[in-house]
């Protein structure tokens, strides 16, 4: 490695004439040449060379690195690259990595993985949650491979998802339109009533509905725009506002007339406060409605109305059911719910389409019946034509 001054003909117009050149070995073991950009002074080139090697050493394999050090490095790397809610999820899943804490990454083998897997099986978790944790472990391993040149080739192909053949798939709960009407009829607080209507008729996630402010409603075009979400108790905060779950979760929905009327009345009520602002939460004014308060309200209303208890997220499923069972196109349902792909909608709500299969068979049967009628009519027409022709030929022969 060396710092050199370029010949005058290679200087830049603003006087940059110093560079450094070196050879280094990349994470794949390949020897490469590197030539820096140009600097004004020798000192600047030397400092740039120092930073270059610091960065290079930062991601070289560390033979003494433990799994704890690896996943903490992953956490630090991600802190300024993902949403705060995602960081919170990482923190929650990191506690399940503790069984590997003191294992040197260079020694990690299939027995260690099986030990970790057994520990996860001992935790009272659903298969779905276990597989989220398993996926997180693989993400950390991939990070180690990319940034530290770690090799997990002997283990990675032998790692498998968690399965439980005895676990019964939880049935998706939802309300029919009649059940929702029973539920909403016992709600005597206008704000809560409007909140539950938005969940049911718009299919919003709870966090999307709680994050709505008055700037999100267009009373001229009668639309509602979803562009943020709200989460509670994240990293010590009472609540945080962040971008929606996915890019496709950003969407603008047309609103039913009844809901527009309710939202207008709700805004008129909020505007009575002298400090009213358009940035106020639709559901809660200066502060959003509390998660626990919403849940208690919902549970109490279910008892009063005599309808089955469902989760707040099941209002979203109920909206999907309402749309699907009233003939909405699957592409529009996906867009309405803010799904990234139609496959997501089909996989989640495929059972709701099962009762439509008879309609499809009915369509085919009708087509077949029409085809048979046309065929029989053609036969009859041919028979009449041939009979008349025979008679004409007979009369002519006479």
**Which pLDDT tens digit goes with each residue over 284-304?**
999 999 999 999 999 999 999
Give the model's pLDDT for residue 360. 55
Of the listed ranges 22-31, 111-120, 151-160, 331-340, the least confidently predicted one is 22-31
User: Token pair of 109, please?
Assistant: 């083998």
Cα dihedral 302, 307, 311, 316 sign: negative
pLDDT band at 398 (very low <50, low <70, confident <90, very high): very low
pLDDT band at 218 (very low <50, low <70, confident <90, very high): very high
User: Token pair of 53, please?
Assistant: 């090697």
How far apart CA 229 and CA 243 sit, in angstroms, is 6
Give the model's pLDDT for residue 58. 56
Of the listed ranges 96-100, 327-331, 335-339, the least confidently predicted one is 327-331
Q: Say if residue 394's pLDDT is above 50.
A: no
At which residue do the structure tokens 């529009």 appear? Answer: 332
pLDDT band at 361 (very low <50, low <70, confident <90, very high): low
Give the model's pLDDT for residue 396. 45
Distance of CA 186 to the CA centre of its chain: 33
Q: Say if residue 28's pLDDT is above 80.
A: no
How far apart CA 209 and CA 196 sit, in angstroms, is 9
Give the model's pLDDT for residue 300. 96
Phi and psi based region of residue 109 (left: phi greater than 0; alpha: psi -120 to 50; beta: remaining): beta
Give the model's pLDDT for residue 328. 85
At which residue do the structure tokens 């496709």 appear? Answer: 248
Give the model's pLDDT for residue 168. 67
CB-based contact 273:285 (threshold 8 Å): yes
* Interacting residues of 196 by C-beta distance below 8 A, sequence separation 6+: 183, 184, 187, 298, 315
Contacts 24+ apart (CB under 8 A), 22-29: 22/49, 22/52, 24/53, 24/56, 27/59, 27/60, 27/61, 27/148, 27/149, 28/149
Residue 287's nearest CA partner among 222, 245, 237, 223 is 237
SS (HEC) of 70-126: HHHHHHHHHCCCCCHHHHHHHHHHHHHHHHHCCCEHHHCCHHHHHHHHHHHHHCCCC
Average pLDDT estimate for 105-117: 93
How far apart CA 113 and CA 108 sit, in angstroms, is 8
Tell me the β-bridge partners of 5: 18
* Interacting residues of 17 by C-beta distance below 8 A, sequence separation 6+: 5, 6, 8, 10, 11, 38, 39, 40
How far apart CA 214 and CA 237 sit, in angstroms, is 23
| Other CB atoms within 10 Å distance of the CB of residue 113 | 20
Give the model's pLDDT for residue 233. 67
Q: Measured between alpha carbons, how far is residue 195 from residues 143, 200, 314 in Å?
A: 42, 9, 14
Average pLDDT estimate for 80-102: 89
Give the model's pLDDT for residue 224. 95
Of all residues in the chain, what percent carry a pLDDT higher than 90?
49
Q: Say if residue 54's pLDDT is above 80.
A: no
How far apart CA 377 and CA 371 sit, in angstroms, is 10
pLDDT 10s digits, 177-204:
999 999 999 999 999 999 999 999 999 9
CB-based contact 108:152 (threshold 8 Å): yes
Average pLDDT estimate for 86-96: 90
Q: Say if residue 330's pLDDT is above 90.
A: no
């Amino acid at each position: 490695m060396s710092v050199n001054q370029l010949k005058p003909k290679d200087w830049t117009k603003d006087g940059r004439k110093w560079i450094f050149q070196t050879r280094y070995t990349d994470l794949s073991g390949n020897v490469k040449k590197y030539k820096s950009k140009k600097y004004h002074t020798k000192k600047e080139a030397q400092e740039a060379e120092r930073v270059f090697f610091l960065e290079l050493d930062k991601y070289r394999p560390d033979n003494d690195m433990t799994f704890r050090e690896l996943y903490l490095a992953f956490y630090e790397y991600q802190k300024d690259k993902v949403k705060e809610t995602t960081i919170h999820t990482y923190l929650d899943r990191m506690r399940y990595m503790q069984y590997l804490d003191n294992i040197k990454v260079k020694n990690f083998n299939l027995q260690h993985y099986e030990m970790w897997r057994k520990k996860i099986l001992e935790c009272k978790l659903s298969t779905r949650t276990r597989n989220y944790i398993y996926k997180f472990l693989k993400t950390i391993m991939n990070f180690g491979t990319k940034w530290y040149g770690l090799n997990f080739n002997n283990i990675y192909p032998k790692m498998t998802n968690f399965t439980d053949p005895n676990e019964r798939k939880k049935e998706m709960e939802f309300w029919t339109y009649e059940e929702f009407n029973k539920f909403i009829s016992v709600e005597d607080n206008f704000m809560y009533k409007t909140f539950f209507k938005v969940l049911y008729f718009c299919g919003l996630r709870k966090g999307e509905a709680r994050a709505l402010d008055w700037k999100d409603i267009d009373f001229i075009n009668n639309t509602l725009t979803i562009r943020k979400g709200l989460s509670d108790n994240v990293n010590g905060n009472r609540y945080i506002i962040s971008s929606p779950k996915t890019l496709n979760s950003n969407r603008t929905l047309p609103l039913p007339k009844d809901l527009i009327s309710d939202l207008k009345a709700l805004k008129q009520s909020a505007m009575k406060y002298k400090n009213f602002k358009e940035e106020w939460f639709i559901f809660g004014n200066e502060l959003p409605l509390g998660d626990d308060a919403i849940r208690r309200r919902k549970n109490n209303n279910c008892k009063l109305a005599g309808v089955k208890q469902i989760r707040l997220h099941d209002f979203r499923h109920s909206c999907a059911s309402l749309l699907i069972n009233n003939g909405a196109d699957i592409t529009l349902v996906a867009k309405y719910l803010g799904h990234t792909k139609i496959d997501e909608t089909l996989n989640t709500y495929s059972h709701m389409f099962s009762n439509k299969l008879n309609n499809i068979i009915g369509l085919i049967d009708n087509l077949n019946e029409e085809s048979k009628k046309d065929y029989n009519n053609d036969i009859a027409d041919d028979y009449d034509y041939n009979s008349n022709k025979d008679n004409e030929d007979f009369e002519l022969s006479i």
